Amino acid sequence: MADLDRVYCAGCLGRTGDWAFLVASGGSGGWALDPAVSRGAEVLIFDPRPDDPPAFFSCHRDGEVQLHFELGAGYHPAGAQPDLLRPALEAARFIPPRTPSTTCWASTRK
């Protein structure tokens, strides 16, 4: 449920297949969505925040944040499934591939 007293921008509602969507326009104050809104559903949020960067992406499912990350500040995902979209984001070259950490070994010579 949206708090209609706090809605300040217009948007476009639509549906494609099993997905319903809202594309909002206007200024960006950031989304303060209670994860409980996603109970029984999956809610994806992309907020470009042009007037208050960085942009962010968030995925909520069944009342829990599954994935959240900011764009343009490195890739540091959080949530119950931080690697949920990693393969797709790497394949699209949106983020660099994960590399194994390098271990340095000290060598002692006699």
Question: What is the distance between the alpha carbons of residues 18 and 41, in angstroms, rounded to a whole number?
Answer: 11
Under 8 Å between Cβ of 97 and 87: no
pLDDT in single tens digits along all 110 residues of the chain: 555 555 555 567 778 888 877 776 665 555 566 777 778 888 888 888 778 888 888 888 988 999 999 988 788 999 999 999 999 989 998 888 887 754 444 545 44
For 2, the 3-state DSSP assignment is: coil
For 38, the 3-state DSSP assignment is: helix
- How many whole angstroms from its chain centre is CA 110? 53
Under 8 Å between Cβ of 46 and 30: no
pTM of model > 0.75: no
